[in-house]
Amino acid sequence: MFNFLVRPFNPAMDTRTQAAPAAAHPDALPAGAPRRRSALSSAGKPDAAVRPDRQQAILLAAERLFAQRGYHAVTIRQIAEEAGVPLGLVGYYYVP
């Protein structure tokens, strides 16, 4: 769709010229072969260690604060601070 913006910077995207195809990487999968998804992230760690369940952390923090201070005395900002997540993330998950 926006190839006209990319062409001057990336000659491989230019369809007007017939460039020779690049040599395939020796470890590349054959065409049509299914790709396997790894349980490890790019850093080599399990995904759970890289991305903690922040939605659950928000719920636990809200429950803890509601029990301590009461429902009407707790702000979204306090919940986000207690959960250790950005304020916008609380709104993303729980504000209509």
pLDDT tens-digit readout, 21-78 = 555 566 666 666 666 655 554 555 555 556 679 999 999 999 999 999 999 999 999 9
Residue 22 lies in a domain: no
Residue 24 lies in a domain: no
Number of domains in the chain: 1
Residue 88 lies in a domain: yes
Q: How many other C-beta atoms lie within 10 A of the C-beta of residue 45?
A: 10
Residue 64 lies in a domain: yes
Residue 42 lies in a domain: no
Distances (CA, A) of 14 to 3, 9, 23, 24, 77: 8, 10, 18, 19, 49
- Chain-centroid distance of CA 47 in Å reads 11
CATH of the domain at 66: 1.10.10.60
Residue 17 lies in a domain: no
Nearest Cα residue to 57 out of 85, 19, 29, 88: 85
More confident residue, 87 or 39: 87
- What range does the domain containing 66 cover? 53-94
